[in-house]
Amino acid sequence: MALTDIKIRHTPPQIKPLKLFDSGGLFLIVNPNGSRWWRLKYRILGKEKLISLGVYPLITLAKARERRDDARRQIADGIDPSAERRAVKAANEDTFESIAREWLATREHGLAPITVFKTKWMLESFIYPDLGSRPIRGITAPDILGALRAIEARGRHETARRTKQKCG
């Protein structure tokens, strides 16, 4: 029997997590604290996997079914939805700021403290506000040039030159 919105709303939390099954591997976990999570159970390459589709009521039953169908299409095409999510997340985590901080951390022990301080100051003051949250693969030379021109507009030509070195 298919799951209904009325059944979802009127199922009270239990002592242990409770699973309310729909169809096609879709189910809702009702946790003891009252939270409700949509999950999808699927098999790919002979392995059983589980992914989260969102939280009820933000994700309605109809929306959860749409997400289930989208994931099923990916599985039919030989794509693991879980691996796809991880790849997208990894690509978004490689931001300019995270790479720059990692680079500075590896060089920090060989530099004078004032050099490390000035480098952090330049990046945090001039580059991170514009480019810090962007994926490193999506940043082009004109993007960096725009940030450097903003520094030059303040009359800080030497700071712009040094910031360009650090960004390189």
Write down the domain spans for the chain: 5-79, 96-167
DSSP 95: B
Q: What are 17-71's pLDDT values in tens digits?
A: 999 999 889 999 999 998 999 999 999 888 899 999 999 989 999 999 999 999 9
Mean pLDDT value across residues 105-116:
87
Q: What is the rounded distance in angstroms from the CA atom of residue 69 to the CA atom of residue 75?
A: 10
Q: What is the CATH number of domain 5-79?
A: 3.30.160.390
Q: Which two tokens stand for residue 100?
A: 């720059």
Strands 47-56 and 26-30: unpaired
SS3 call for 36: strand
Q: What is the rounded distance in angstroms from the CA atom of residue 11 to the CA atom of residue 157?
A: 66
Q: What is the rounded distance in angstroms from the CA atom of residue 70 to the CA atom of residue 80?
A: 12
pLDDT at 93 over 80: no
